[in-house]
């Protein structure tokens, strides 16, 4: 089955810095890559996603890039703010099932 590796497990940055979280996947048939944000004590929520026919997608301060050849994708957050502090999960899924396999999560801490 699919295996998703996510790094780093913890990322500490100063407010205003950029943050990058990287994930790799194993199944070349995966074609949908969502990112979820989970604030402390809250439910995971989708923040951005990308499909395999697109190399990059942006939404304001966040962007995701996908390299299908290398089977890795990354989340980029620019101009980080304290409210960006949360656990971020990458995931990969394929076909019409959309059952995502999640990475282990990255705890992002943004220091004011």
In angstroms, what is the minimal distance from the CB of 28 to other proteins?
18
Of positions 25, 34, 64, 85, contacts other proteins by CB under 8 A: 34
Of positions 100, 108, 110, 112, contacts other proteins by CB under 8 A: 100
Backbone φ and ψ for 73, nearest 5 degrees, come out as: -145, 155
Half-sphere exposure of 83 (CA within 13 A, CB side): 1
Site string for other proteins, 50-89 (x = CB under 8 A): ---------------------------------------x
**What is the DSSP track for 34-88?**
EEEEE-TTS--EEEEEEETT-SEEEETTEEEEEETTTTEEEEEE-S--GGG-EEE
Give the integer Cα–Cα distance in Å for 32 and 22: 16
Choose the binding region for other proteins from 15-23, 41-49, 64-72, 76-84 (rule: CB under 8 A). 41-49
Of positions 19, 24, 44, 64, contacts other proteins by CB under 8 A: 44
Report residue 73 as tokens: 């994708």
CB of 45 or CB of 81, closer to other proteins: 45
Residues shown for the chain: 112
Q: Is 13 in the site for other proteins (CB under 8 A)?
A: no
């Amino acid at each position: 089955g699919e295996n998703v590796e996510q790094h780093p497990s913890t990322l500490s940055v100063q407010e205003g810095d950029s943050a990058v979280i990287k994930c790799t996947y194993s199944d070349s048939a995966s074609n949908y890559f969502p990112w979820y944000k989970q604030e402390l004590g809250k439910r995971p929520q989708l923040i951005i996603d990308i499909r395999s026919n697109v190399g990059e997608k942006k939404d304001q301060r966040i962007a995701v890039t996908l390299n299908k050849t290398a089977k890795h994708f990354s989340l980029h957050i620019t101009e980080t703010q304290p409210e960006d502090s949360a656990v971020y999960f990458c995931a990969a899924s394929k076909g019409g099932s959309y059952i995502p396999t999640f990475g282990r999560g990255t705890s992002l801490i943004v220091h004011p």
